[in-house]
A and B are shown apart, each in its own frame.
Chain A
Amino acid sequence: MASAVFLRAAVALTGRFPALAGIDLIAAPGEILVLEGPNGAGKTSVLRACAGLLSITGGEAMVLGHDLRRHPSSVRRHVGMLGHAAALYDELSVVENVRFAVRASGAGVDGIDGALDRLGLAGRLRRTAVGRLSAGQRRRVALAVLVARRPALWLLDEPHAALDAEARALLGDVVTEAVSGGATVLLASHEPQASLPLADRVVSLAGGRVVGERSLSRAPAVMTPAVMTPAVVAPGVVAPGVVVPGVVAPGVVVPGVVADTKPAIPPFVVGDVHVA
């Protein structure tokens, strides 16, 4: 199967600075790839290059079958990007922003209401001007645009920043749904705890090049700092969404979200927990 993203020795310049100094990256369709690395390693540049925003001046670059070196703009319609700054107009309301983005990309407007509901932006928030929202809410709006547009390639740049626990869970669900619909996801992140559970593979970047790669079997569960509730349930009985320390052993099937990252509670190893 043709890969969704194929970069070989790709070089990209911003001004005179080589943001990408020879990157090799392959992502298959339906894969979730996490890019990690220190600041300035080139994670954002890889995402921008795949969106056709950063021109590739050396090597090969093919995204979704489009040659990025010759026609960088042809890939843009099929790509959805969640960047540091949200592509939203402050003066327009949430629904107006989403509607503009969706209509611009040629996607149908029927998915908008569903996307807004999914991300908790229904009701009063729909009509609020984006400029009045908090950073986390703006992230949600940007995410709603992606959900409504359903692009074939998702490029997420530090998506977990500014999101609260509930929103992070939502992000994980949304990403998983997108992938099961055939999309490919590239995710750049500084927070391994949040992003690793989603990943199929992790690529490490430094100095504009790839310095390492490893595969993970994907964990369907999303790691979130869970809410502690008193153990009203009896040992062996687990309620969805509740952490019961020490009760669940590796290999036990637990419905819902479970893992906890606080060191006091033995964390579950990724891969040992399966969603029923």
Chain B
Amino acid sequence: MTRPVASSKRSTRLVRIIGVVAVVSLAATVWLGLWVTPPDKTQGQLVRLVYIHPPIAWVALYLAFGTAALGSVLWLWPRTRSRFWDRLAASAMEVGVVFTALTLVTGAIWGRPTWGVWWAWDARLTSTALLLVLQLGYLALRRVPGDADARARRCAVGAVIAGVDVPIVHFSVDWWKTLHQGATVLNPDLTPTIHGIMAWTLLLGFVALTLVFVWMLMVRYRIQVLSEVLEGAELEMALHERWAEGAPPDGHGATDAGPVAVVDEETPAQVGSRARGEQPAELVP
């Protein structure tokens, strides 16, 4: 059993179930948020954004970035190093970029009627914008061509550097706004008072968006594994060609598994799979 398993019935079904539940809960949140819950006294209809903006922000920063950072640290730690963490980190970061961008968009939409501008250098928005750039940097690193191991290493270190920066950015931007004397009646507190059905809807919002994130993460992870299977097949072809280089010119070795001085009778497939690493890929879960 040497090839990574692309999918198993059980994991596929699980992913599908999570997807369905995610869509359903998201639909429920939207319904509750748009129709059932009452508008706020001060903010009117605008308050409905509270059911999705904070959850999206939470997913983007803590769930996505946190998972990516955790995965990177676990990959770097020799004892827990495994392809799983690298794949997980990359998938989490990629999905996280989407959520971070959405945080900025929903934040801007919320702020526009209140502040009159699309972008005010609000502490939270600013640090979220920096977070987005950091995540894009990670993705850029990921695109750099190279062997999987070197790439995993680079990205893991990049994620740790960025991860350590996140709290620092948070504090500095916060102080930037608040330590500024005479600041700022410009940005009234956007958080409304929440009670009753609003609280439940907010909770549902958190759950729904978390599920959406998990589902997207799992799907992205599977795509990663599939692309690695493809790389493995390419490696086997490359090994075959390489062995053919070594065959003697009179064609004697051309039909064998390899050139003359072979110790083990291993096929290129076995050599290739050993080269890729011992364990076959595991799909989530």
Chain A interface residues (CB < 8 Å from chain B): 8-9, 11, 13-18, 21-22, 24, 40-41, 55, 57-59, 206-213
Contacts and interface: CB of A to CB of B under 8 A. Distances in A.
Contacts of B234: 16
A16 B234 CA distance: 8
B261 A9 contact: no
A209 B259 CA distance: 8
A209 B275 contact: no
Interface stretch (B64-72, B171-179, B236-244): B236-244
23 contacts: A9-B266, A11-B271, A11-B274, A16-B147, A16-B231, A18-B271, A18-B272, A21-B271, A22-B266, A24-B261, A41-B245, A41-B246, A57-B276, A58-B271, A58-B274, A58-B275, A207-B244, A207-B247, A208-B242, A209-B243, A209-B259, A210-B261, A213-B261
A6 to B, nearest CB: 13
B145 A18 contact: no
Interface of B: 145-147, 149, 231, 234-235, 238-239, 242-248, 258-264, 266, 268, 271-272, 274-277
Contacts of A16: 147, 231, 234-235, 238
A211 B259 CA distance: 7
Complex A-B, nearest 6 residue pairs according to Cβ-Cβ distance, in ascending order: A207-B246, A207-B245, A206-B246, A58-B274, A58-B275, A11-B275
A9 B263 contact: yes
Given A11-B275, A15-B145, A209 B261 contact: yes
A16 B150 CA distance: 12
Chain B's interface: helix, strand, loop or mixed, by majority? helix
B242 A18 contact: yes
Given A9-B266, A207-B243, A18 B235 contact: yes
Given A11-B271, A16-B235, A212 B260 contact: yes
Contact of B238 (A18, A57, A59): A18
Nearest to A55: B149
Contact of A212 (B238, B242, B261): B261
Chain A's interface: helix, strand, loop or mixed, by majority? strand
A134 B274 CA distance: 44
Given A9-B264, A40-B245, A58-B274, A14 B259 contact: no
A207 B244 CA distance: 7
Contact of A208 (B231, B246, B274): B246
A49 to B, nearest CB: 13
Contacts of B264: 9, 22
Given A9-B264, A57-B276, A211-B261, 12 more contacts: A9-B263, A11-B274, A13-B235, A16-B238, A17-B242, A18-B238, A18-B271, A22-B266, A57-B274, A208-B246, A211-B259, A211-B260
Contact of A14 (B147, B246, B263): B147
A21 B149 CA distance: 18
A14 B146 CA distance: 8
Contacts of A213: 261
A40 B246 CA distance: 10
A25 B32 CA distance: 71
